Amino acid sequence: MVVKTPQALREALTDKGRVGFVPTMGYLHEGHGALIRRARSECDTVVVSVFVNPKQFGVNEDLSRYPRDLQRDLTVAGAAGAALLFHPDVDTMYPPGYATTVAVGGASEPLEGSARPGHFAGVATVVLKLLNIVRPERAYFGEKDWQQLAVVRQMVRDLNVPVEIVGVPTVREVSGLALSSRNSYLTPEQRERAAVLSRALRAVQAAAEAGERDAARLRQAGLAVLQTEPEVQLDYLAIVDRDLRERERVELDPLARVLIAARMFGVRLIDNLPLFEPLPSGLDEAEALSGTGGL
């Protein structure tokens, strides 16, 4: 069922029990399907939003050509267990006279925050609006956008938003390339070559697992892999702690991460992996995040 307005959504959710929410920009794929299935396993009713948010696109980014296919979205969402698809117009989300922006410090500042000024303000603004409209008990986000997940968690914590934010592991193609709606811009052969990004992350992870703790040497392990693919235009390859800070040395921490952003074939792709996998025995994500300085 598609609903277009906040009022219609609230009416449709009356007496629907525990609500899980998956915010998306549409062109759903198996990564989104994993989010929806996780939500369905933990909640009575799942809402998926499809809204290409203009406020998180910068100048000369791909807002006008971002892939859109509502019928595809309905098919994927329904098959995964969603009950409602919230598909508002831009004027519904940002009516005439709209003048409020949510700015999150801390987690939003490095990496993507530096590369895409204003991006996370756009993300935080639309996510907070959607959370206020849907009012879910839980909201589900993919770990592929690790920094975005950190920003949303900080916003929810700082503003006392009554929702649990659940991170769901990245879903990948057979090659290792992280699933993304922007992969649709690439040919099959280009997607195979773009998997060099995940191989570079794996090389960094393998070096860390082998005992390397010097961040420069860890980064070099990834750069050596990237140098095998001439199409890589690297924005950053960063080894960060749980607060997204780059350090000269890393510690054995389940929230230490290696993140990458690069352009390949005219498309900007991001990905990340934990430095140490899996989480130590007996430690789940919620416990890890509850530690001092957690995301």
Q: In angstroms, rounded to a whole number, what is the distance separating the alpha carbons of residues 237 and 270?
A: 10
Catalytic residue among 29, 32, 87, 119: 32
Sheet of strand 164-168, all strands in order from the earlier edge strand to the far edge: 2-3, 84-86, 45-50, 19-24, 138-142, 164-168
Largest CA distance in the chain: 56
* Integer CA distances (angstroms), 132 to 9, 139, 236, in order: 12, 12, 34
Alpha helices for the chain (secondary structure H): 6-12, 30-42, 70-80, 90-93, 112-115, 119-134, 146-158, 188-194, 196-209, 215-226, 285-289
Alpha helices for 159-187 (secondary structure H): none
Amino acid at 21: F
Active site residue 29: no
- In 3D space, the residue among 172, 175, 174, 141 whose CA is nearest the CA of residue 155 turns out to be 141
Q: What phi and psi values does residue 245 have, to the nearest 5 degrees?
A: -100, 135
Give catalytic residues, as residue numbers. Answer: 32
